[in-house]
Amino acid sequence: MLKRHGHETVLAGLVVIALVVMSFQSAQFLTTGNMLNQGRLMAEVALVALAMTFVIVSGGIDLSVGSTMGLCAILTGVLWQNMGLPLGVVLAIIPLIGLICGLFNGFLIIRVGMPPLIATLGTLALYRGLAEGISQARSVRGYPEWFAAIGQGSILGLPTQIWILGIALIVAGVILGLTRWGRTVQAIGYSEPAAHFAGLPVNGAKYAVYAVSGLAASLAAILFVSRVSTTRSDMGTGLELDVITAVVLGGTSIFGGRGTIIGTALGLILVQVLKNGLSLAGVRGDGTLVLIGVVLVLTLVAGAFMENRVRR
């Protein structure tokens, strides 16, 4: 158990320790209000991280998610305000835009054969550039009340984002852990040639993971635009690093093959607990940044020791 799930065990322990320490540091930390609010604030990163887990497990990476989010955010505003489409229609189109962005990444990687890191480094610049060019750096404001409800409202007392995250978490966990398709993604990550020989639908699965990654980024864009009721072309800058931090902190191997949704969820929670708890305890943002870096490295070292991977 420890050997196979050493990383998740270390992580779960760390989350518990962090929760306990932080609740002693600040009386406001372990309150229902704060916890629910944190769920709202982490929704965008979390959604994209769930999709990114699939990408990384398949042996790939998607650096373009932040730019995809920016492009989708801008298009929400431009389609609605400049092109005059009803906002409801726009909300149906935006996920398609995200899908197209993801499929274009997939096309570059699968059809053209570019390494994922390079292809998505290129589209990171391209999608952000399109967002800037299309918007001419203007922001779009003045969204109607009902739209703000998505990002700022609650259902049955819980923030909307918690519901969306809960559903996404279960769906992602079931697909990766229990379905044939999830196992295909893992097999591709272990050894793509072997997956080919085994007759698995390698290209289809790879297209799907990048498409889902783009889709998640577009949903994150809608949530974010609704939460802050404005669109800007620089939205989502640096999102990719937050997302990758959470996923690898969750024990997903950057070389593919290995990774769990529960690990990603724990990684996300740990980062959020640290950010929130340290801030409540009066630690400044730069100090928090250093600590998250240290925790990221130390957790992986500890995981490596428990799984006996360390060279002596």
Partner 1 sequence: MKYLLTVCALALAAPAHAQWTGGDGAPTSPLPCDGSTVTPEAVAYDGGAVANEGSKAGKPLRVVDIPKLIGIGYFDSSARGVAKGAEALGNVTVTTDGPTQANIDDQITLIDNYITSGVDGILFAANDPVAIAPVLRKALAAGINVVGYDSDAEPDARQWFVNPAEFNGVAKSLIDQLAEGIGPDGSFAIVTSTFTTPNQARWISEMEAYQQACYPEMTWLETVEAQEDNILSFNQATTLINKYGEDLNGIVGMTSVATPAAAEAVTQAGLCGETTVIGLATPNAMKPYVASDCVKSAVLWDTGAMGAAAVMALRAAADGTLKPGDTSFDAGDLGTLQIAHGSQILLGAPTVFTSANINDFDF
Partner 2 sequence: MIGSTTLPPSGTGAVRRFLREYGHEILVALAIFALLVGVGLYNPRFVSARNLTTIFSGNAYIAVAAIGMTMVIVIREIDLSVGALIGVLATISGTLAVSGAPIWVAWTVPIVAGAAINAISGILVAYARIPSIVVTLGMMAILQGGLITATGGTWISNLPPEYLLAKMTVFGLPMPLVWAIVLTILAGLWMRLSPFGRSLYLIGGNAEAARAVGIEVPRRIVAVFMIHGAFAGLATLLFATQLQVIQSTTPPNLELIVITSAVIGGVSILGGTGTVFGSSLAAVLFATIGSALIFVNVSAYWLRAFIGTLILLTVMADMLRRKRTMKGA
Using a 10 angstrom Cβ sphere, with 0-12 exposed, 13-18 middle and 19 or more buried, the burial of residue 248 is buried
CB of 30 to partner 2, least distance (A): 26
Query: How far is residue 301 from each of residues 2, 15, 126, 247, 298, measured CA to CA in Å?
Result: 15, 16, 36, 16, 5
One-character DSSP codes across 145-214:
HHHHHHHH-EETTEEHHHHHHHHHHHHHHHHHHHSHHHHHHHHHHH-HHHHHHTT--HHHHHHHHHHHHH
Query: Is 8 within 8 Å of 266 (Cβ atoms)?
Result: yes
Closest of 63, 55, 83, 7 to residue 270, by C-alpha: 7
Please state, in angstroms and rounded to a whole number, the distance separating the CA atoms of residues 182 and 274: 31
Query: Is 230 within 8 Å of 140 (Cβ atoms)?
Result: yes
In the bound state with partner 1, the residue whose beta carbon lies nearer, of 37 and 203, is 37
Closest of 174, 173, 175, 150 to residue 162, by C-alpha: 150
CB of 133 to partner 1, least distance (A): 6
- Residue 100 engages partner 2 in binding (rule: CB under 8 A): no
- Residue 119 engages partner 2 in binding (rule: CB under 8 A): yes
Helix, strand or coil for residue 231? strand
Task: Give the range of 20-28, 29-37, 198-206, 243-251 binding partner 2 by CB under 8 A.
Answer: 243-251
Segment holding 141, helix H or strand E: strand 140-141
Please state, in angstroms and rounded to a whole number, the distance separating the CA atoms of residues 84 and 86: 6
119, interface contact from partner 2, partner 1, none, CB < 5-8 Å by kind: partner 2
Task: Give the range of 146-154, 182-190, 221-229, 252-260 binding partner 2 by CB under 8 A.
Answer: 252-260
CB of 183 to partner 1, least distance (A): 31
- Residue 310 engages partner 2 in binding (rule: CB under 8 A): yes
Question: What's the alpha-carbon Rg for the chain, to the nearest Å?
Answer: 20
- Which single residue is written with the structure tokens 């390494």? 115
Candidate list 125, 155, 167, 171; residue touching partner 2; CB under 8 A: 125
235, interface contact from partner 2, partner 1, none, CB < 5-8 Å by kind: partner 1
Task: Please report, as residue ranges, which positions from 77 to 116 form the binding site for partner 1 (by CB under 8 A).
Answer: 107, 111-112
28, interface contact from partner 1, partner 2, none, CB < 5-8 Å by kind: partner 1
Candidate list 28, 166, 254, 297; residue touching partner 1; CB under 8 A: 28
In the bound state with partner 1, the residue whose beta carbon lies nearer, of 12 and 280, is 280
Task: Please report, as residue ranges, which positions from 221 to 260 form the binding site for partner 1 (by CB under 8 A).
Answer: 224, 227-230, 232-235, 237-238
Phi and psi angles of residue 231, each rounded to the nearest 5 degrees, phi first: -125, 140
Candidate list 34, 129, 150, 228; residue touching partner 2; CB under 8 A: 129
Using CB under 8 A as the criterion, which residues of the chain lie in contact with partner 1 when the complex forms? 26, 28, 31, 33-34, 37, 41, 44, 107, 111-112, 132-133, 136-139, 141, 148, 152, 224, 227-230, 232-235, 237-238, 275-276, 279-280, 282, 284-286, 289
Which residues of this protein are in contact with partner 2, per CB under 8 A? 108, 112-115, 117-119, 121-130, 132-133, 136-137, 241, 244-245, 248, 253-255, 284-294, 296-297, 300-301, 304-305, 309-311
